[in-house]
Amino acid sequence: ITIIDSRENTTNINVNVVIANSDLWEIKNGKFYDDDEWIFLKIAKPLRDFSNASQVDKLISELDILQSKGYNTIEINCYWHHFDHNGDGIPDKSLAPLNWLINAIYKKGMYPCLSLETYAVGGGTIPSGFWDRNPDAYAIDDKGNRVKDTEYGFGSSVVSIFHSGYRSTVHEFIKNMAKGVDTDKILYFETTVEPQYMGSIALCYSKMAKKEYEKWREENQITDPESEMPPTFPIPASFVKNPTWNKFRAQFLAKWVNEDAAAYRSIAGEKAYVAVDYLDANENVQYLRMGDPIEFLTHLTEANIIQVNWSWYFPNNTPNQKAYNRVWKVLNEHSRDWVVSEHMTFNGSDFVNYTELQLNRILENTLKQGTRFGWEFVNVSNNSRDNFSLYEDDWAPKKVIKSVDNRWEYWLERIHTTEP
């Protein structure tokens, strides 16, 4: 593991700004407090290669710009393959640039957050060396084929979360990354982005999945033949939709996320805050994504922050009430001390066809649903040609983020005045 580089990178650091003090941070009752003051977080998620020193230095030089726009939190989303090329869970790249960034954010009185993306659906990539070490770790669909991410168009090979070698390697990677940074300066850690199986392909029917399923059936004394995994391909639709099978899938998905959270806390301490995305999109494929949403949420025991995605139901252009209802149902019935927030409150591409009035309705809806923690914006970068970026080359806000940036003082007042 690369030892932390203690170089002080003070690019554009304003010495008049009070340095953050993590001893004064607390998350309670759905809100973040700094020295007993409720702070609503405006979270910037800039997508970069944080193992690349030049990209990190550029972002450090832009922190003043981000702070001037009201951002007080920077979420650092690190891709596994950027840091660990041979896929053994031990970073091959120096963690020094990552530490420069964390220190620079902290010294500006802002809040660093750390996310490690370790899955391969929706943008992440498994390190190529991992497959050499684990050639049997591929996710298998209901036809018996290895799976690639055709749903999101990235074409990356999809790993089976049932593969113990995958999970143990990811745990080592999380621990090693956490060991290499000052975890006391991290406001919260995030498990892999949008944990799910897939929404367009039925997963997973690998040998590892069958082994884990049979073990679970035995532990729960389940013997009915209808819920036995078929021995041959193709898997019939009746089993793909079987409630017992999907209950197992939901519980195992939660187990995967819980174990990742535990890996963070094994280094950062038991009180470390952990955020988890809850992807509740098109209802007709929700069983494919996570088996049973309520079952998943019920068994999600290690999260502090639940980040709902979608917050807005795009097919009907209405609030995604079903997603929030499920989260609040589990929160209330099981007395969970959860923050309810959103993943990608806005991003550069999903909301471009909405008017300013509609964008304001979407933000108002998050407050109606109980969000008092913060809003997350992706991708916070200045690129006129990138449709996922929220800013033009000169940092002028694009349409989606304009109504946020240009009215930030209004939104802060609105957030506080809507407080019951």
> What pLDDT score does 19 carry?
84
Mind listing the pLDDT tens digit for each residue in 52-100? 999 999 999 999 999 999 999 999 999 999 999 999 999 999 999 999 9
Round the average pLDDT of the chain to a whole number and report it: 95
Q: What is the mean pLDDT of residues 242-254?
A: 99
> What pLDDT score does 12 carry?
39
| DSSP summary character for residue 127 | -
Residue showing tokens 């079987």: 242
> What pLDDT score does 321 carry?
98
Give yes or no for residue 11 having a pLDDT over 50: no
Q: CB under 8 Å to 234, separation ≥6 — which residues?
A: 142, 143, 144
Q: CB under 8 Å to 156, separation ≥6 — which residues?
A: 120, 121, 124, 125, 126, 148, 149
Domain residue ranges of the chain, discontinuous segments joined by +? 22-417
Sign of the dihedral through C-alpha 257, 263, 264, 265:
positive
> What pLDDT score does 124 carry?
85
> What pLDDT score does 123 carry?
84
Q: CB under 8 Å to 102, separation ≥6 — which residues?
A: 76, 112, 114, 181, 182, 185, 186
In this structure, CATH architecture of domain 22-417:
Alpha-Beta Barrel (3.20)
| Contact (CB, 8 A) for 340 and 324 | yes
pLDDT band at 5 (very low <50, low <70, confident <90, very high): low
pLDDT band at 20 (very low <50, low <70, confident <90, very high): confident
Give yes or no for residue 8 having a pLDDT over 60: no
* Percent of all residues in the chain with a pLDDT value above 90, rounded to a whole number: 94
Pick the range with the lowest mean pLDDT from 124-128, 165-169, 338-342.
124-128
pLDDT band at 41 (very low <50, low <70, confident <90, very high): very high
> What pLDDT score does 40 carry?
98
CA diameter of the chain:
69
Q: What is the mean pLDDT of residues 343-364?
A: 97
Give yes or no for residue 280 having a pLDDT over 80: yes
> What pLDDT score does 3 carry?
44
Mind listing the pLDDT tens digit for each residue in 172-223? 999 999 999 999 999 999 999 999 999 999 999 999 999 999 999 999 999 9
